[in-house]
Amino acid sequence: METVIDILLTPWLWISVVVIYTIQQGILFVPQNRGYVIYTFGRYSGTLQAGLNFIVPFVQKVAADRNLKEQSLDISSQSAITKDNISLEIDGILFMKVIDASAATNNITDYKLAVIQLATTTMRNAIGSMELDQCFQNRDKINANILAAMTDATQPWGVQVTRYEIKDITPPTSIKEDMEKQMTAEREKRSVILTAEGVKTAAVTKAEGLKQARVLDAEAAKAELVLAAEASKESQILEATGKAEAIRLVANADSTALSVIGAAAITSEGQQAVRLTLAQDAIAAHKAIAAEGSVILTDGKTSENIGNTVAQAIAISSALKLSE
């Protein structure tokens, strides 16, 4: 027991403890994406980066530990008035990162609170320069304006705003109802326009179809007329050719008959046959005249001529039979 007490009362033990503690306080391991702000006797002297670092114990100390990663800050719902005096409730989200740990510590008390307040003010200014419809239609423009304004304002704080997004824009209930009515009217208007366009397109298509049908009908009728004309032409040609051939054949037959009759007529028998034919024709003519009326006027020689003609015909007929 006395030995343990003697060891604890040994000055060298206490000196060793103090030395170890001092060395421990002088060695710092800085994590990745962190920045340690060092003060020497209460004055900024540097920023320690990631890795193994050394400081003078009891003379230097870590005044602030800054996160150098990109961070997101929620911007709670805020009231803003548009250019046309409409009150809106707007909330958003902001992305930022500390790029200078010393400036974020020495130049601003609470950089996160300062960034949120600046974002709120900038958002109200951006909304105040636009009308209600523009606020809904130009969200990207509002975000870009807020980002540009905050980039310049936060540079002295060692903070970089990388992105700002509006999450929701809530108009008053009355304005919301009016907007819904307007949207309904716009949808109905578009429906009517689309219906009219459909009817117009259908009418145009129908008219084009009728036009094409009429053109095709006209072409078909024209083709039929051409075919009918060609057929009529061919028929007339064939008919004329047939008539010409018939006339030629009749003429050839008459020519042949005349040739035969002429050849026979130059003989004595032919002469007798001719006289017989003439006598027969004369008798037939007198019979036809007698059949037409009951009174026949003659010159007194007609009966003699008829008798002679009959006698000649009988004689010629007898001669022809004898010659056969």
List the end-to-end C-alpha distance of the chain, in Å, as a whole number.
197
- Cα–Cα distances in angstroms (integers) from residue 282 to residues 227, 240, 286, 294, in the given order: 57, 39, 6, 19
Instruction: Give the pLDDT of residue 26.
Output: 81
Strand partners, 36: 48, 65
Residue with the bigger pLDDT between 179 and 199: it is 199
Q: How confident is the model at residue 152 (pLDDT cuts 50, 70, 90)?
A: confident
3-38 pLDDT, tens digit per residue, is 656 655 677 767 777 778 778 778 888 899 899 999
Whether 172 and 193 have beta carbons less than 8 Å apart is answered as no
Instruction: Give the pLDDT of residue 273.
Output: 67
Stretch 173-199: mean pLDDT: 85
209-264 pLDDT, tens digit per residue, is 888 888 888 888 888 888 888 888 888 888 888 888 888 888 787 778 767 776 76
284-322 pLDDT, tens digit per residue, is 766 776 666 555 555 445 555 555 655 655 555 555 455
Instruction: Give the pLDDT of residue 105.
Output: 92
Q: How confident is the model at residue 97 (pLDDT cuts 50, 70, 90)?
A: very high
Neighbours of 175 (CB within 10 A): 14
In the chain, % of residues over pLDDT 90: 21
- Distant-in-sequence, close-in-space partners of 25: CB < 8 Å, separation ≥ 6: 55, 57, 58
Q: How many Å apart are CA 96 and CA 110, to the nearest integer?
A: 14
Q: How many Å apart are CA 58 and CA 265, to the nearest integer?
A: 174
Tokens of 290: 């007698």
The answer to whether residue 146 scores a pLDDT higher than 80 is yes
Four-point Cα dihedral 145, 146, 149, 150, nearest 10 = -150
Give all domains of the chain, ordered by start, each with its CATH number: 1-66 (no CATH), 69-171 (3.30.479.30)
